[in-house]
């Protein structure tokens, strides 16, 4: 009789893969002092598993692990300590995200877009003590939904395969073009072809890219000099990939329901979500599956 061999669960595979990745990046290096009970790689793996499960509540997530994966996680941190530790690990999220994103840079095409992230109900924005109206959070308008919201705006630059290479967080009232120019101060612009919508039609941006041997590809506006060529029309069709990326970030990874209670916590959770998304693409590529099949990573 053939013996049944039990396959390891997706949660266990993700745990081992994240810890292996953190070990290669030297995340858990300790110079002095006692060995921590919960290493940084362990907390990072919990963060990634949490968002890949589509859970935005830390308390519910820890309860889910205790009830369903107690053999893999015999000991779990307390919820408030876990929350504080996750905020302190934000630089590590950015470091791992950068290392994973750099491994995907195979061409010079980049797609740019912005997406809104509301943090409060619109009528509570002006009186909130957690997210005061100012340079960090403010009122903004979402053209796709044709509605106003209170929160922040994300500027995304991704590859044609959907890998996010650069991320900027700005107040909701900042114009898309202004947010992009602020983000590009930290981006390598050499030989980059930037693809965007009409909101990024700007002569100064076009000149800046041309000075770095790059190009700006956006739809032409009426009563303006036509720049788009027939080849650019084909490139503009590639913008649809970023709509898929935004949909997965909001539908599965709960980008619009972060449950943050401070701006620092909001930024930390946004970077946690993008790290989880990029890691899912890395893991799918390693398992020879479609890169954007994020929902099926733990299946």
Pair type for strands 164-171 and 193-195: unpaired
Residue 143 in any domain: the answer is: yes
Residue 256 in any domain: the answer is: yes
Number of Cβ within 10 Å of residue 196's Cβ equals 25
pLDDT computed for residue 135 by the predictor: 92
Q: Could you say which residues of the chain have pLDDT below 50?
A: 1-6
Residue 86 in any domain: the answer is: no
Structure tokens at 279: 């890691």
Query: 188-204, pLDDT tens digit by residue?
Result: 778 888 998 888 888 78
pLDDT computed for residue 3 by the predictor: 46
Residue 92 in any domain: the answer is: no
pLDDT computed for residue 117 by the predictor: 95
Query: 235-280, pLDDT tens digit by residue?
Result: 888 888 999 999 999 999 999 999 999 999 999 999 999 999 999 9
Element (H, E) at 246: helix 240-251
Residue 115 in any domain: the answer is: yes
Residue 236 in any domain: the answer is: yes
pLDDT computed for residue 102 by the predictor: 83
**Could you list the residue range(s) of the whole structural domain that residue 128 is in?**
107-261
Q: 185 burial class (0-12, 13-18, 19+ CB within 10 angstroms)?
A: exposed
pLDDT computed for residue 140 by the predictor: 94
Residue 165 in any domain: the answer is: yes
Residue 137 in any domain: the answer is: yes
Based on C-alpha coordinates, what's the Rg of the chain? 21
Q: 222 burial class (0-12, 13-18, 19+ CB within 10 angstroms)?
A: exposed
What's the CATH code of the domain at 208?
3.30.420
Give CA–CA dist 108/190, Å, rounded.
Answer: 9
- For the chain, what is the domain count? 1
């Amino acid at each position: 009789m053939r013996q049944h061999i039990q396959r390891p669960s997706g949660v266990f595979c993700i745990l081992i893969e994240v810890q292996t990745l953190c070990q290669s990046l030297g995340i858990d290096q300790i110079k002095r002092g006692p060995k921590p009970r919960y290493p940084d790689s362990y907390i990072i793996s919990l963060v990634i598993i949490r968002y890949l499960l589509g859970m935005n509540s830390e308390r519910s997530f820890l309860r889910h692990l205790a009830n369903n994966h107690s053999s893999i996680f015999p000991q779990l941190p307390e919820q408030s300590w876990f929350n504080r530790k996750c905020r302190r690990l934000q630089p590590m999220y950015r470091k791992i995200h950068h290392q994973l994103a750099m491994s995907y840079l195979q061409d010079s095409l980049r797609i740019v877009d912005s997406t809104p992230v509301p943090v409060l109900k619109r009528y509570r924005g002006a009186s909130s003590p957690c997210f005061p109206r100012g340079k960090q959070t403010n009122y903004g308008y979402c053209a796709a939904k044709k509605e106003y919201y209170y929160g922040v705006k994300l500027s995304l630059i991704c590859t044609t395969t959907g890998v996010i290479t650069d991320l900027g967080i700005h107040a909701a009232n900042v114009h898309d073009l202004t947010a992009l120019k602020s983000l590009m101060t930290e981006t390598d612009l050499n030989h980059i072809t930037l693809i965007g919508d009409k909101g990024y039609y700007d002569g100064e941006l076009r000149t800046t890219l041309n000075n770095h041997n790059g190009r700006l590809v956006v739809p032409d506006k009426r009563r303006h000099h036509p720049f788009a060529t027939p080849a650019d029309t084909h490139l503009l069709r590639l913008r649809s990939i970023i709509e898929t990326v935004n949909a997965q970030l909001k539908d599965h990874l709960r980008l619009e329901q972060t449950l943050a209670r401070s701006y620092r916590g909001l930024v930390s959770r946004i970077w946690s979500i993008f790290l989880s998304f990029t890691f899912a693409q890395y893991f799918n590529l390693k398992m020879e599956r479609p890169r954007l099949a994020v929902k099926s990573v733990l299946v």
